[in-house]
Structure 1
């Protein structure tokens, strides 16, 4: 803000305090200063002050002027405020504090930074510092009030107190040891679990250096770890070392460390977490002792076994893995580059797995690879990888099983299934044509039902194999009608009770015709159930709900829709809207809710056409 100069070159400082505000507000020009210039400067200082400034006239205590900050902070307009009193505006929340502030103001003529709460126009509350002074001007008395909004500051302080309390509670209740040390390695802060772990009291441990509870060799190891953190600025992964407790017993701890900095970013120490891993270490020692027996079992294993480092270097390979690769000696395996031992695709997969492991991600415990033997033959191998201890260090054991013959058998099985499905498909087509030949009015009915049922199943996101089974069953769901007299099938008038019972028997006939057909799907059961209903009112067995195959429930919906929209000897085609209304009105009662929902979506949202 530009400073204001009077005629005698004295400077008026920017408005910052109650005194500054008073002087700026009551500032008057020297005789030689232009009136307009004085007015602009005074108004600028008053209106653009970041604090809320109010001028009241005594004794009536009415507001005679306010600055823009009052309007922004309290939400009033000038018309709301000018000529009103504080009581009329109801801005003071704590009346007891208000009276105390007024009393002090009347006694000493001023008050500074009295904290209290104020009420905005929208009834929300703000925290403020209240400053005021009684001033005399031209034989009249005024009160100049300055209110500084400290709501954000108070909220920040409260949040800080809550965070401090939260972290204090965590440190006091956690079982993990938390510590802070200076750059020399002396304790500056720690929680109770650290004391319990080392066996010292708080007073004994404060200021203690790590060299006092470690051996010389361990102290060197600890220094190297912390020095790396200091040089790189990066936290360490957890590392373990041996400590010597106050009573002389030894324990193993696992520790993390990160750099502690002051507000300027300068390193001032370290902080981290420690916990006791003695029991784990003892278990690891026991494991190492049994390693020799374990190695003998690897030598005699019929499965290929390699022990490798994290980088993939072979430390051990048994005879079985050499046989899989066609090598005679272990050195042949070690000295053959990996990209020559794998096919190009398997080598690319290996590189991706390796990259993830080096970044700290766990790789898959089981995967398949294609290897290239010494004689050039490609073999398929199943690999099982797990972490072990080998000679006291963390390594990886990979077990190899040659699955080449299994792969060939699976491929042959897939080819057989493909041939079988083609054969079944041909059989289904023949049966469908045979059934429709008996009933010219339903020609194409089974095909249309199959197409709609497949679309419904796809909309329901069922597995592709299930969808294919539904299509197959839909194409022959009325195959049993070849056993029904054609004069009944084509009768243009109402069927008698006996005739209708014959019609209903087509489900049983369908089942009998195809029950012995070899198929990967339960085709016979699907066609047997396609006239069952969710409430048990269907036929032939009055099945209910989940007792009906989902494939049959889908075909039931497709069958009803196609039948209603198609011409029959005893009635004309009724149209798609009537068909959709039928399944919608009876969803959950007669028809499967999900199948109905998918069918409605196909016709109404996706313009499906039969």
Structure 2
């Protein structure tokens, strides 16, 4: 199953392929017919711009967003200018009497309007604007510009035969500057945008800037740079289109609570209206009562039904004719209605205050709920004259309340189970709700925190200053705006622990816009901040040595290149023979060598000095306020410590050079170059000696690690010398071959001693390890100038005459002659020497084996010389 990372990678690859195809299509169209390419590129931009206009115009009732409104107006007018630019291009033959200057002028005029539109939209994001006035301004500017261009009053932008004019080039940079300012204005308002919308705006602005750069550098409207400019413009318009269609309007938090309050207010208003209606009914009598849709019952002070009015007999489940002039006890209402109504009426009669009761009846259409409101109609002397009972079917309201209760409970459950801490306060900043995560992070239980001021429970300080942060609830209540905590916020829990947090606070508002409370959402960001610190550390430090890396050193050089740091010394150091160490002792030893060198420099340098690794084997030290004498002293201390440092068999050696800037007018780049040159001079002087010493050390180590190795190499060397003399080699060639015989197995330094000394047969894997020793020896010898001519002889000494050898499978005379000689000497010595893993052969047996393998494994001529003239 493809994981998320793989899916993202596939998505990126797909986008790259699409973009490559688009560029290829544009290039093909340009090569086939430039006007076709130009109409396609400009036509795409015009079509997308027109789409942006219609999307925003048709969606404006859903949002109040000046940024999008201004963009749509601006692009509407840009469409017409770009259309004229497209039609004015050479070969379209639309505007007779005009040359390439006309489309270039139209282009620069359109880009001025586009860049100013982006800037104005970003600046007037939250301002009220008069849409008609904006249309008028754009129309006026567009007409004036077009008239000036076609009347040849607009500055020239392109001269045929000469190219772009200074006006055109300067204008492009002005437009780039305007778009950049718009970019930063948009960045300041990033909290007002959806993340995807903001990302697409940034991409659009960036590609607009690239477009202008392309159209600054081209010299011919038909060249590749012009093509890239149109491609970047297509991307710019595409991403602003994506920004428009991805705009989202954020819903206020806790909207469900507001809906509940609105419904409750509506219900309470209905109750108040009904009470008023009851009072009016008492004065307007039967005519008004009959006009009501509720069940109206009037009882006298003896609880005899005197009047009944109902639009629906189901309200009482009893026929009205059977109720009149009867006592309440004589009527058999179904339970629980009868008991509830009688109890409510008695309560009203005893207290003299209105009362209400809810009950339900199980009817054929299902369970129905009713609300009965009972009040007294007093007589002139204050006695009870009548009892008024109004019954209303509230089944729909009950269903609605049940839905609301379910939604409220669902919201509360969600709130209490989210992974972030959530605290809700009232309009006085007192805590009302607290979820389990908030309990865990603050150390307070919700029972303890309920009703307490937020600042008693949510105690936040600045990690750096240790000063208390402002109360987010108080600030939201004062401003009515959503806020976020500043960086470095630390939450102090009740258990005296500290947690780095990120948080935001948002207002809870009622229908009138009044802030009725605050919701604070916060999370533990300790792990994220720790990872961020690690990333920041890795971005400026070398992972192996822990020193600063090249990026940091280069930035530090610029930062320290000031008058107050003079004299300013730059010291460059190179590890002699690192590659040789890697080849001879392995990369792990090479890493230890680099770490050892880093420790030496850290030990020698002062607190204000900056030490960094700027390459594989190269280091740099920045020494502010350090003259040549002081720098020389530091260099000598480094060399002295280095010469005394041991690392197993590895020689620790550094090439050191420095240069000092003493005058503010000196170019720091020249100082760096001089430091490099001094280092290379030092390396040339001492590096060769160090590499020769390393080769000698490797040979000593091989002889110590492996049984009979010194005897083997010496004998092979002697045999090689004898064969070379017998074949008439010059003294120089004899000497070289003799040395190659000594060095032919130097690559065995990387093979474990127990493997070479193993008495039993080697496994396939072990043999593969041993087969690599010629390549290792070759790489080592190539690192030393003196041994470069011998490297290939060592590399190919295990090749076979029939091409079945290794490492390259060379055949016959393709194998260097010296390697063929070493092969014969090496095998003969191995057969006649004492080995734990084989029986020692006699001279006759060994000669017989050589002659048997002559022409297959060995060069037959060399075998003949060796047998007849050497042995």
Q: Considering the TM-score relative to the shorter chain, is it more than 0.5?
A: no
Q: With structure 2 as the length reference, what TM-score do the two structures score?
A: 0.24
Structure with greater proportional strand content: 1
Q: With structure 1 as the length reference, what TM-score do the two structures score?
A: 0.32
Structure with greater proportional helix content: 2
